Chains A and B, each alone.
Chain A
């Protein structure tokens, strides 16, 4: 358990450092630029330098903020992200605790991020932060529903909430082949859940300064950042488990396959970010309630019918 925790902490830190570098490289190459090139080979150590800078910064607590809540918010956003790693199956044996409600646990903990964002926005005593928090809550509630329903259609096929069972059920074929619509819906909702572009309204830098983390500095800000990138990893890991067969794959060891799939999905999310412009708020809600939820329900119904008739 302790070893697992240390391993997870190391993975979280290295993953965030790598993802920030990767995002900068991907965005740069999509705009025919080079991205960071100065610190280390191809700028590989750039994020380490940035992280050191962030650690050295002063933790400013503005006047008239709600102090306890303001200080608690970065921790509240970061802890559930850390806990979600408990149940992710990296390979057949490499899994910290194979709970029989694994997928429910991850979904429950990922919901806590909304609370943290609301805490951060509300306690900051800043109108932009509150706007960001309000948007985030509306968005996350709207997008959680289709997310859960698409996950349900996969669980109907397996008959278990256990992530290792879901992976084991995909021995012969991946679920993306039989559930392509669910995969698309899941990726869309996951992008919205992680507050990434084109659904990055909570932090919409061109409208809201930085949204809910406008007033945060130094390591507190870094925790929000860390949580965002770790969330990306977790949602991609869940998508890989549900639709891409987790650690299943020929020749290479399971961990390698799993990480390959996760980073491919993360690349897909980065690809979204640098392709699509941010949606308007009404478009965001319309998409969730008028398109994603009906489609998810239809998908669930068809899955249930097929499972019953088979």
Chain B
């Protein structure tokens, strides 16, 4: 009797196995045809760092403080910023990430004082030339803004940068002149005072600009 029972139960188990495979056969496939199809990565995915698009101001939050460039262990971030006339903070005019050196450690994202960086969810980074892996964050941000229908953040042009630098230099010169005049006035007014007071006021440390 056990003989027939074994045959029956064995046959039943075979049928059950076949039911499982046929169910999988009609399920939708999970394969993504890599170069042609794209999937949305999970929010926890840590791709290359990129500028965060602030939903409120519709632009980035970067103040060109260069903290990210300093902390980067591979020294692959180059940031430079300028203070445009009338603005309170500096804005970056170059922000380039040489991604082929990047180890995706995420220190730049951690260190940013204004949380201007985020991890992108882009995983398809294959390219044919080394130069293709250089990410220009400001133009990338403009593209993303255009894609989202937002006004692109202008990148300061060379003329604007030069003008801003000239204005700053002029302002500094004016400040120095004023300080010097003040000091001379003070010297002339009280020549008999203590000599330590006669010292010229400390000039602000010269900023070396190339």
Chain A residues with a Cβ under 8 A of chain B: 26, 28-34, 37, 184, 271-272, 274-276, 291, 295
A34/B7 in contact, CB under 8 A: no
A30/B21 in contact, CB under 8 A: yes
Given contacts A29-B24, A29-B25, A275-B14, 11 further A-B contacts (CB under 8 A): A29-B29, A31-B24, A32-B24, A32-B28, A33-B29, A33-B30, A271-B21, A274-B21, A275-B18, A276-B14, A291-B7
* Residue on B nearest A291 in the bound complex, by CB: B7
Counting from the closest, the 3 A-B pairs by CB-CB distance are A275-B21, A34-B31, A32-B30
Instruction: Please report the C-alpha to C-alpha distance between residue A291 and residue B9 in the assembled complex, in whole angstroms.
Output: 13
B29/A276 in contact, CB under 8 A: no
B33/A34 in contact, CB under 8 A: yes
Report A-chain residues with C-beta under 8 Å of the C-beta of B18: 271-272, 275
A37/B33 in contact, CB under 8 A: yes
B17/A275 in contact, CB under 8 A: yes
Instruction: Please report the C-alpha to C-alpha distance between residue A31 and residue B20 in the assembled complex, in whole angstroms.
Output: 11
Given known contacts A276-B14, A291-B7, A34 and B29 CB-to-CB distance under 8 angstroms: yes
Decide if B208 is an interface residue (CB 8 Å cutoff). no
Q: In the complex, which range does the number of interface residues on chain B fall in?
A: 10 to 19
Instruction: Please report the C-alpha to C-alpha distance between residue A32 and residue B27 in the assembled complex, in whole angstroms.
Output: 7
A-B contact pairs, 10 of them (CB 8 A): A29-B24, A30-B21, A32-B24, A32-B29, A33-B30, A34-B29, A34-B33, A271-B22, A271-B25, A274-B21
Instruction: Please report the C-alpha to C-alpha distance between residue A291 and residue B4 in the assembled complex, in whole angstroms.
Output: 9
Give A95 Cβ to nearest chain B Cβ, in Å. 33
Report A-chain residues with C-beta under 8 Å of the C-beta of B20: 275
Give B35 Cβ to nearest chain A Cβ, in Å. 11
Give A295 Cβ to nearest chain B Cβ, in Å. 8
Give B43 Cβ to nearest chain A Cβ, in Å. 25
* Residue on A nearest B20 in the bound complex, by CB: A275
Report B-chain residues with C-beta under 8 Å of the C-beta of A32: 24, 27-31
Instruction: Please report the C-alpha to C-alpha distance between residue A31 and residue B22 in the assembled complex, in whole angstroms.
Output: 10
Give B87 Cβ to nearest chain A Cβ, in Å. 54
Give B5 Cβ to nearest chain A Cβ, in Å. 13
Contact of B31 among A33, A271, A275 (CB under 8 A): A33
Report B-chain residues with C-beta under 8 Å of the C-beta of A295: 7
* Residue on A nearest B7 in the bound complex, by CB: A291
